[in-house]
C-alpha cells in the first residue's frame, strides 16, 4: 500500500515548518545551556512529524466484489449501528452506521458505494465531541447522497468534532462515485455517518475497526431481491 501526503495538508505543513524554524533557530543562538535548545527542537520535530502523519493519504484498492458493496468511508472504529429516521434527504427509516476517527487515523474519506452523486449540502453547526450521537445533526457537517446503479440511495455525512474545524467535500451533484475515490477530507478528529437502506446486510458490529476504502461494512440488497 503506497502512502503519500494529502493535498489538504500542503499549506498547513509549509506554514507550520516556517513557524517552527522561526521559533527554534534563535534558541540555538541565545538559549543556554544548549540542552534547552536541543530539547525544544526535539519536541518541535516530534510535533511536526505528528502533523505530517495526520495528513498521510494511502492509495488503496478494494479487493472484493464492488457490486452492491458498501465500503467504509473512513479509518476508525464503529461507534453507532442502529435503525433510525433520516430526515434531511431520504425521509425514511434507515440503518445508521457511524465510524469515529481519532487524530491518529487517516482522515481522507472515500465514497462508500459506486454510483452517481445526486445531492451535496454543507451545514454550519457546533463542534461537540464527534463520538456523541447528537453530533450527527448538531455539529458542522456535510451531506452527500449517492444513487447506486440499482437505484438505491446511500447517504454519507461528514461530521466535524471538537478538534476538527474544517470539512472538505470534493463531491458535486452529477459526479460519478467510486469506492476507490476520495469524497473529501476532515481536518483533525471527526466522524462519518452512513445511512443505508433497511435490509442491507451488515458485516460489522460496534467496536470493530475499519479501514477506509478497504473494509466492506455491508452489502446492499436491491429492492427486487428483498422479500
Query: Does residue 178 have an active-site annotation?
Result: no
Interhelix angle 34-54/10-30, nearest 10 degrees: 180
Query: How many other CB atoms are there within 10 angstroms of residue 163's CB atom?
Result: 14
**Which 3 state secondary structure label does DSSP give 153?**
strand
- Among candidate residues 73, 136, 190, 224, the one labeled active-site is 190
CA 185 to chain centre: 6
Query: What would you report as the CA-atom Rg of the chain, rounded to the nearest whole angstrom?
Result: 20
Does the bond joining 33 to the residue before it have cis omega, within 30 degrees of 0? yes
Count other Cβ atoms within 10 Å, centred on residue 109.
30
**Residue 147 DSSP class:** E
Which residues carry out catalysis?
Answer: 190
Amino acid at each position: 500500500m503506497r502512502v503519500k501526503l494529502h493535498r489538504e495538508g500542503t499549506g498547513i505543513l509549509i506554514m507550520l515548518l516556517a513557524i517552527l524554524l522561526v521559533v527554534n533557530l534563535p534558541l540555538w543562538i541565545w538559549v543556554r545551556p544548549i540542552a534547552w535548545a536541543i530539547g525544544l527542537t526535539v519536541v518541535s520535530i516530534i510535533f511536526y512529524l505528528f502533523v505530517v502523519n495526520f495528513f498521510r493519504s494511502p492509495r488503496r484498492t478494494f479487493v472484493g466484489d464492488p457490486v452492491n458493496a458498501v465500503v467504509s468511508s473512513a479509518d476508525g472504529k464503529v461507534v453507532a449501528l442502529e435503525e433510525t429516521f433520516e430526515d434531511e434527504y431520504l425521509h425514511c427509516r434507515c440503518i445508521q452506521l457511524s465510524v469515529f476517527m481519532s487524530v491518529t487515523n487517516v482522515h481522507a474519506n472515500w465514497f462508500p458505494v459506486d454510483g452517481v452523486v445526486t445531492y451535496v449540502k454543507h451545514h454550519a453547526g457546533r463542534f461537540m465531541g464527534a463520538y456523541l450521537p447528537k453530533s450527527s445533526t448538531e455539529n458542522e457537517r456535510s451531506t452527500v447522497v449517492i444513487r447506486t446503479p440499482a437505484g438505491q440511495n446511500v447517504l454519507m455525512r461528514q461530521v466535524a468534532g471538537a478538534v476538527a474545524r474544517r470539512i472538505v467535500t470534493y463531491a458535486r451533484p452529477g459526479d460519478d462515485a467510486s469506492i476507490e475515490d476520495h469524497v473529501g477530507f476532515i481536518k483533525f478528529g471527526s466522524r462519518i455517518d452512513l445511512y443505508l437502506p433497511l435490509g442491507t446486510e451488515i458485516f460489522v458490529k460496534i467496536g470493530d475497526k475499519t479501514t477506509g476504502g478497504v473494509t466492506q461494512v455491508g452489502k446492499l440488497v436491491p429492492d427486487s431481491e428483498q422479500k
